[in-house]
Each structure stands twice: as C-alpha cells, then as structure tokens.
C-alpha cells in the first residue's frame, strides 16, 4: 500500500496595510499507474479520500475556501445586493397548486424567512381546516443540510413514507409517519431510493443502493415488521443497470424497471395483489429501450425497436411480450415521440427541430389536434398527478421571457384554466425582454440551435454585449428554455443569456444524442466552440462567460483547455473533470453503468479517446480565463476531489494572473445547499464573480 504523505500548504501573508491570503499551493506527490501500455502520473491523486476525514485534505479545502473568501471580499456589497434583488422578486409566502388524492387536497407552502417547505392537506374541500403533516423547517432546525424525497401517501391517506438525507450524500433513510396520530413508526430502512404503496395500505415496495450508490435491489416491506423480514423481490446483478419503481397513472400496477444507458426491461405487479409475483413484459436486449403505460386491459408501449425516434405500440396485459405488440403510431426519423395515457385520451409529446409540441388524441372518436402555444421558443411539462379517468390535463408552461403558468386543460373543449401564474415582484415586465433561436453550423454541416434572451433596451447587435453561454450535452438530457427570476439580474445589466443545444442531448432527436456520446463525445465540445464563435461572428457577443454543471462541467472544462482564448470567464458547478481517473475506479458511484455513455477506459480505444479530452489530463501551460469552480463536499456523483485536483493542476500550469477560485460547500452534495436562502447566497457568489470580472455592478 502506498503511504499517504501529508500536504504542505504555503500560506504566506502579504506585508503592508492589507493582508490577503496567497493562493494555496497543493504539494506535488506523483502517483503512477500503468494501464493499456501508458504510464499515468497523477500529481494530485492524494486529494482523493472516500472517508472525507483526512486532516491534511480538510486543511487544504479550508485554505481554498479562505482564499476564495479573501478574493471575493471586495464583492461583498455586490453579493448582498444580488441576494436582495433575488429575494425582492419572489413571493416568500407562497403555495403550490393543490393535488387531490382521495378525499384530501395536498399542497406545500413556504413562509417568509423560512428555508424549507411546509407540507399540508385539507379534507374534502379547500375551505376545510389546514392540517400540517410535515414542517421541514422544524425537522431541519438542527441540521446544516436536510433533504426529503419521494413523499408517498398510502392509498387510504393514513400513512406517509419518505426518504431523509442530512448530509447531501444522497444516503436516504426511509421513515414512515402515521398521519392520524402524527407519530413515526418504528419502521426505518437505510439507503433507499424509490418507494411505492400497494393498495392494501400495509405493503410498501422500495429500492436500495449498493456500495457504489447504484439502486440494485427491490424489497417488499410489511408495515410494523422488521427490515430483516422484508422479502427480496428483485436483484439486478449487471452493474450497467439501475432499478426503480413507479406506479401507473390508473394506479393499477406497480412497474419495476431496470435500465442501462442502452437497454431497458419492465416488470409489473397488480397493486391489489402485493404478495404476488412481478411479471416480465419484454426481456432486455441490446439497444432496446421501452416504457409502459397502463390503459384498461392493455399496455401502451413506447419503444425504439426498429424505430429511430420511438414509436407507439399496444398489447394486452395478458400477452405483453414484443411478439404481440401492434403499432399505433409509426416512428419518424425527424420526430422524437413520448406518450402518456388517460382513460379517453392519449397525450403525445413530439419533439422536432428542438421544439416540443403537445398533441391530444381522443381514443373514442379517433380525432387529434395540437395544443396552441403562443411563443416560438418555450417549454412545457405535464403533471403525473392528473387523474387517469379525467378529461383534464394539468401542465406547466414557461419560456425564457414568460414565468411559469400552471393550467388545467380540458382535452374535450380545449378550455384552459389558470391555476397559478408565477408572480415576479418589482418592476418586471415580460415585454421588456426578447428571446430568439438562432443556428450555428458545425464543420460537418449540423445546425446547432442556440436559444437567446436579452433585455431589449440594453441589446445592441454590434459585438459589444457580454454573453453568458451555457450547455449540458450528455445522457440525452435536453436543456429546456425555462424562465428564471434570478437570471434577470444578469439581463438587467446588459448580459445576454444563451443556451447552446449541443450534441449529447436529444433536442434534435436520438441521433443528436448518439452523436454526442462514446467515441463521438468531442462533437459536444466542438459544437459549443462553434456556437461561441458564431455569437461573436454575428455580433451578439464581446466577452463570453461560460457555465456548465456536472457533465456540463466536463464540457466547459474541455473547451477551456481547447480554446481558452475564446472565453473571458468560466463558472463550473460540481464539474465532472477528472473523467479518466474516475472511470478507472468501478467502486465509485455509477461508474460501470457510465461505460455506455463515455466508454470503458480499460479498453485501449476508449482509454485513448477519453484521455484526449479529459479536462484534468489536458491542462497545459497556457493562459486561462477567469475561473470559478464550485463543489459539494458530500457529493457522490462528482466527488469533491475532482474540482480540487483540477484547481491544483490549473494553478501549477496557468501562465497569467486571471482569477482561479475554488469554493467547496462543506454542508452539501451534488445539488448544493438544501435551504432556499442558502441556495440564493450560492447564486449571488456566482453572479458576483461574473459581474466583477466584467466590471459591472
């Protein structure tokens, strides 16, 4: 075993009237690995500590945080002003749209100066007395981090099951509360993920995670019994696959799903027969992805089998295998299809040329139509809480200039009822802003969409505007053009906000995703560079600030190495920058399943390709833009040591005096602070960094 050598941190103080911390210098301790005939030397491998307890590493991170605080001290007033702006735009006493479950209406609300939500319900009528069943502010008052997931009420509305995480590591503990007595049951189960109730109100199904954080097992639990007596229902032994649970809209079946990045498999169980056996719908096969919707005695199947962008099939519950599927809607090469089902309607989302359309099909009359949206660039999402036997579809609509609106939409009469419209306090007027979509052309002829929003009276197409350019480009996830009240603090200072819809997402269909993964991953980076160059060429941009988080952090890390001259500043949130070393450690969260996204570096072909773009491995001696990097100490998706190592190597190699700052949140994980005001403080730090380097106030 290699002995750990404790870090020596140089903390020299400038002499004079002001004393500031000098940049921390991480000691170089070469760690050598031989793989695929290549010698890898990692000078900062010692920063990796899965226990998160080593004093030398804690001291180094503290030094980095102190240095960042020292450098950013001059922006303290600006940060305070930004935080004040953020707060003044939001309604602090706010309430969600109630959702009816049985005889109760469930909703959550927030109160002024309180960090967390308060969960409430009313029986029979919204005019009834309010019952608070969870006040997260009280539950979290002695905690620096507090997160709850998967709140599931039993069918009879008497029991509440949910998961609790108090570090940010996403290690959730299942707890169950009796809503009639307000007491917690003795049933407590660690390391859970998904939860679903059977209809008997005493049987609970849950998933658990393995050593690497992969959900790999499904159990059946009977309320009031010990965990050791829980029956193991399903084990996923293939480390490429994750398992989960969901319930169909008609509440008839619990679906057990297991999926890799390229294949899926579904099983189902009647919720009225919780002691029964899950039945397989269609066995997994390579590159076959499908999901299941329950309708009366049939299953609708959305599948990519012999379809480039999905097609819709139907089959009986009694004969659910692929041999019995019958086509309802054929696949189309230019339209990516998703579906939901109600008793009398099919809800179709059709994505074409980066824009989603909502189509309603009446299953009784066989008529269909599209829902009209008033803007060319927008996003919408439907609510899973809409009742199966209803003709009312609940959905949320928003755009880069339009705050979200929640509608109840009558699918028969086409009437829309506004249930809630996000209010932006102050002098906000959506007509003061303008959004548009433009397209940059890559070298191979691909047209890359760019969504833009800016304040009209501060926009001049003369190449003098600062631009904030962001992207994600991984896992097939789209970057939807959503509204943000926080973003107004940039727009109102003349900054253009832009999204590069680069390959790696599915904005332009499955092909767009396939062209941004595995041995095509570099398309994501060159697309982003092409978008930045196009913004300059077309006189939108002067100084460009780029941002990306997680896999988007990989993107901004890679392009910063490739074209540091193109970007003025970089904000990297929990950035996945040490991809080669991480993917060589299968004990870390999700690594094996990620082989189908990035490739297996134990294979020389993928090793060489990954090594050619890995941000950490490709840091060189050159000038770099201003860089702010944010990490979560308890993050298990992108562990704290990735950004820490990246900063250390950048410091040792950068040849200019631009700012290089690392801030590690010691009380959070991948998603940052859990409290809403703490989160606003994090954003105020990011925005203050951007405005400071741009000399804006």
Identify the DSSP state of 505. Answer: B
Compute φ and ψ for 72, nearest 5 degrees: -85, 0
Cross-strand partners of 433? 455
* pLDDT value at residue 658: 98
Residue numbers of the chain with a pLDDT score lower than 50: 1-19
pTM for the full predicted model: 0.95
CB 261 within 8 A of CB 271: no
Q: Indicate the CATH number for domain 1-90+543-573+622-697.
A: 3.40.50.1820
Residues annotated as catalytic are 550, 635, 670
3-state secondary structure 432-454: HEEEEEEEEECCCCCEEEEEEEE
240-252 pLDDT per residue, tens: 999 999 999 999 9
Compute φ and ψ for 135, nearest 5 degrees: -110, 100
Return the domain boundaries, the chain: 1-90+543-573+622-697, 342-423
* pLDDT value at residue 385: 84
361-392 pLDDT per residue, tens: 999 999 999 999 989 999 999 998 889 999 99
Compute φ and ψ for 203, nearest 5 degrees: -105, 125
* pLDDT value at residue 13: 30
* pLDDT value at residue 2: 34
* pLDDT value at residue 384: 87
Compute φ and ψ for 606, nearest 5 degrees: -75, -35
């Amino acid at each position: 075993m290699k002995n750990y050598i404790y870090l020596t941190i140089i903390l020299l103080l400038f002499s004079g009237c002001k004393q500031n911390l000098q940049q921390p210098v991480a000691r170089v301790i070469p760690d050598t690995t031989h793989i695929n005939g290549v010698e890898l030397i990692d000078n900062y491998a010692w920063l990796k500590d899965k226990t998160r307890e080593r004093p030398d590493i804690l001291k180094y991170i503290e030094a980095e945080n102190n240095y960042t605080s020292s450098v950013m001290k001059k922006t303290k007033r600006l940060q305070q002003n930004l935080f004040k702006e953020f707060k003044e735009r939001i309604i602090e006493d706010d309430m969600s749209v109630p959702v009816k479950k049985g005889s109760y209406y469930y909703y959550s609300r927030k109160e002024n100066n309180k960090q967390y939500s308060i969960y409430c319900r009313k029986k029979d009528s919204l005019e009834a007395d309010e019952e608070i069943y969870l006040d997260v502010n009280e539950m979290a008052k002695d905690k620096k981090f507090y997160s709850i997931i998967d709140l599931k009420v039993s069918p009879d509305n008497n029991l509440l099951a949910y998961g609790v995480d108090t570090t940010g590591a996403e290690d959730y503990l299942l707890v169950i509360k009796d809503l009639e007595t307000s007491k917690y049951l003795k049933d407590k189960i660690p390391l859970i993920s998904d939860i679903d109730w059977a209809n008997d109100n005493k049987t609970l199904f849950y998933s658990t995670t393995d050593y690497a954080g992969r959900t790999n097992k499904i159990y059946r639990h009977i309320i009031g019994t010990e965990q050791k007596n829980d029956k193991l229902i399903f084990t996923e032994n293939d480390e490429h696959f994750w398992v989960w649970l969901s319930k169909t809209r008609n509440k008839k079946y619990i679906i057990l799903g297991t999926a890799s990045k390229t294949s899926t498999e579904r099983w189902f169980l009647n919720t009225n027969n919780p002691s029964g056996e899950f039945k397989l719908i269609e066995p997994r096969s390579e590159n076959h992805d499908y999901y299941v919707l329950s309708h009366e005695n049939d299953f609708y199947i959305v599948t990519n089998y012999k379809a480039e962008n999905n097609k819709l099939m139907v089959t009986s519950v009694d004969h659910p295998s692929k041999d019995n599927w019958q086509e309802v809607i054929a696949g189309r090469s230019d339209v990516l299809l998703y579906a939901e089902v109600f008793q009398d309607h099919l809800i179709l989302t059709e994505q074409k040329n980066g824009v989603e359309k909502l189509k309603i099909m009446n299953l009784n009359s066989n008529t269909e139509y599209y829902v009209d949206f008033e803007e060319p660039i927008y996003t919408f999402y439907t609510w899973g809480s809409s009742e199966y036997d209803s003709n009312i579809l609940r959905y949320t609509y928003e755009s880069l200039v339009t705050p979200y609106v929640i509608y109840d939409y009558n699918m028969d009469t086409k009437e829309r009822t506004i249930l809630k419209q996000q209010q932006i306090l102050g002098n906000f007027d959506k007509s003061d802003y303008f959004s548009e979509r433009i397209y940059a052309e890559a070298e191979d002829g691909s047209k890359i969409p760019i969504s833009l929003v800016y304040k009209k009276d501060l926009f001049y197409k003369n190449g003098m505007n600062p631009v904030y350019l962001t992207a994600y480009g991984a896992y097939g996830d789209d970057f939807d053009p959503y509204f943000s009240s926080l973003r107004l603090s940039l727009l109102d200072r003349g900054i253009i906000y832009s999204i590069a819809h680069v390959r790696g997402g599915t904005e332009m269909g499955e092909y767009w995703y396939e062209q941004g993964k595995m041995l095509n991953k570099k398309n994501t980076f060159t697309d982003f560079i092409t978008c930045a160059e196009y913004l300059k060429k077309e006189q939108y941009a002067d100084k460009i600030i780029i941002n990306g988080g997680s896999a988007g952090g990989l993107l901004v890390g890679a392009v910063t190495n490739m074209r540091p001259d193109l970007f003025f500043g970089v904000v990297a949130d929990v950035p996945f920058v040490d991809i080669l070393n991480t993917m060589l450690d299968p004990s870390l969260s999700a690594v094996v399943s990620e082989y189908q996204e990035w490739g297996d570096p134990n294979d020389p072909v993928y090793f060489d390709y990954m090594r050619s773009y890995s941000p950490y491995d490709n840091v060189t001696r050159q000038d770099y833009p201003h860089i702010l990097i944010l990490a979560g100490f308890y993050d298990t998706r992108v562990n704290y040591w990735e950004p820490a190592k990246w900063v250390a190597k950048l410091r040792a190699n950068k040849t200019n005096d631009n700012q290089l700052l690392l801030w590690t949140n010691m009380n959070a994980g991948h998603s940052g602070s859990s409290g809403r005001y703490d989160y606003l403080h994090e954003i105020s730090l990011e925005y203050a960094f951007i405005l400071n380097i741009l000399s804006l106030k």
